Amino acid sequence: MYRKHVSPWISRLILLGLFLILSYTLFNMQVINGEKYFTISENNYVRIMKLKPLRGNIFDRKYRVIAGNSSSDNLYFTLSKLNDRHKLAQFISTNFDIDSLSVIKIIKDNRFRKYHDISLVKGLSDRKLVEIAERMNEFPSLKFTSEYIREYAYPNHFTGHTGQVSEKEYDQLKDQDYSLNSEIGKNGLEKQYEELLRGKTGYELIQVDATGKSLEFLKHNLYRPPVNGKDLILSIDNDLQSYIQQIFPAGEKGAVVVMDVRTGGILAYVSMPEFDPNIFSSAISRPVWDGMLNNPDKPMLDRISNGTYPPGSIFKTITASLALEEGLITPETKMADCTGGLQIGDRFFKCWYEAGHGRLSVSDAIKYSCDVFFYDVSLLIDLNKMKDFTERNFLTKKTGVDLPTERRGFFPDENWYRDNYGRYTGIIGPKVNLSIGQGELLITPLEFCAYYNALANDGMWLQPHFLEQIIDQDKIPVRNYETRRLPLSEDTVKLLQKALDRTVNERWGTGANAKVAGVKVCGKTGSAENHMGDETHAWFAGYAEWEEPEISFVVFIENGGHGGANAAPIAKKLVTFYNKLRTNEPENYLHLLKAPDKE
Nearest to 492 by CA among 389, 592, 564, 411: 389
Q: Which amino acid is at 50?
A: K
Q: How many CA atoms lie within 13 A of 504 on its CB side?
A: 27
The pLDDT tens digits for 493-518 are: 999 999 999 999 999 999 999 999 99
Contact 151, 67 (CB under 8 A): yes
Kindly list the distances between the CA atom of residue 106 and the CA atoms of 81, 103, 120, 307, 325, in Å, as whole numbers in the listed order: 15, 5, 8, 36, 63
**Cβ contacts of 475 within 8 Å, gap of 6 or more:** 233, 469
Q: Which superfamily, per CATH, for 47-234?
A: Penicillin-binding protein 2a (Domain 2) (3.90.1310.10)
SS (H, E, C) 235-270: CCCHHHHHHHHHHCCCCCCEEEEEEECCCCEEEEEE
Asked whether this chain's domains 47-234 and 238-275+304-594 adopt the same fold, the reply is no
CA-angle at 236, arms to 470 and 567, nearest 5°: 155
Beta partners for residue 270, in sequence order: 256
CA-angle at 52, arms to 51 and 54, nearest 5°: 135
Domain ranges across the chain: 47-234, 238-275+304-594
Render each residue's pLDDT in the chain as its tens digit; 599 residues.
Answer: 445 555 667 766 777 767 677 776 666 656 666 565 555 555 555 667 778 899 999 999 999 999 999 887 788 777 777 777 787 778 777 777 777 787 788 777 777 666 677 777 777 777 777 777 777 777 777 777 777 889 999 999 999 999 888 888 888 888 888 887 788 999 999 999 999 999 998 887 776 655 555 555 554 557 788 899 999 999 999 999 999 999 999 999 999 999 999 999 999 999 999 989 998 887 676 777 788 888 999 999 999 999 999 999 999 999 999 999 999 999 999 999 999 999 999 999 999 999 999 999 999 999 999 999 999 999 999 999 999 999 999 999 999 999 999 999 999 999 999 999 998 899 999 999 999 999 999 999 999 999 999 999 999 999 999 999 999 766 677 768 999 999 999 999 999 999 999 999 999 999 999 999 999 999 999 999 998 888 999 999 999 999 999 999 999 999 999 999 999 999 999 999 999 998 875 455 555 554 444 33
Helix (H, G, I), strand (E, B) or coil at 477: strand
Cα distance between residue 274 and residue 277, in whole Å:
10
Contact 157, 304 (CB under 8 A): yes
CATH architecture type of domain 238-275+304-594: 3-Layer(aba) Sandwich (3.40)
Name the DSSP letter for residue 217: S
Q: Which amino acid is at 399?
A: T
Cα 564–chain centre separation:
29
The pLDDT tens digits for 158-191 are: 999 998 888 888 888 888 888 877 889 999 999 9
| Helix runs in 180-337, H state only | 188-192, 194-198, 238-247, 286-293, 316-325
Name the DSSP letter for residue 532: T
Contact 527, 537 (CB under 8 A): yes
Contact 93, 87 (CB under 8 A): no
Helix (H, G, I), strand (E, B) or coil at 182: coil
